[in-house]
Amino acid sequence: MSFALILLCTSFHGLFSQIHQNRPVFMNITETHQLLKAMSFAADKHRFQTRKDSAGTPYINHPINVALTLMEVGKEYDTELLVAAVLHDTIEDTATLPEEILKSFGKNVLDIVMEVTDDKNLPREERKRLQVIYASKKSTSAKKLKLADKICNVTDIIHHPPGNWTIERRLDYLTWAEQVLQGLKGSNPMLEDRLAAIIREGRAKFEVQFS
């Protein structure tokens, strides 16, 4: 746990001084506390989980990267959005209850998290279908978070895929991610462009291997 928290704090060092429109962006004490509390909460909830890559990467790396992508690629610095990014998989992938997030982080954060949470009681293909259908209906904040999430997931599919995924399955994932992207447009052009570029990169790489 201590290593995970050190990693989280190091990764988010840039939160305290980011350059945006040639001006430093600083977090106040309350915002810093909320983000650090979210880091600790997520690290605890995901502590027994790993990603599906062959290295068994600690799962907590993923929400860290999603929040960093919002900042570094999307130039998004809203604290509630970044907190939601850190927490975005806690309800979907752990035993976390919505009431826990509501009590500790407030309704706005909970609303964003709930918007990007899939119903794991549904089959995987149905969950994917619903993501495509409802992408355009999400709030602007949820769209931004989904874009950052997809950027990180597509990057992993290209460079650190699950060991049992064939090239064909990885190409299918890119096609699906591109369909979701269409519904998320209009929220953050920088995130949209990055996701589109990464999908093109992956498709070019996999189609060569597949041919």
pLDDT in tens, 126-155: 999 999 999 999 999 999 999 999 999 999
**Is the pLDDT at 176 greater than 70, yes or no?**
yes
172 vs 66: CA distance, rounded Å: 22
What residues are labeled active site? Answer: 92-93
pLDDT digits (tens, 9 = 90+) for 45-92: 999 999 999 999 999 999 999 999 999 999 999 999 999 999 999 999
β pairing state of 18-20 and 23-25? antiparallel
pLDDT at 208 over 70: yes
The pLDDT score that the predictor gives to residue 116 is 98
The model's pTM:
0.89
Q: Alpha-carbon torsion 139, 78, 51, 156, what sign?
A: positive
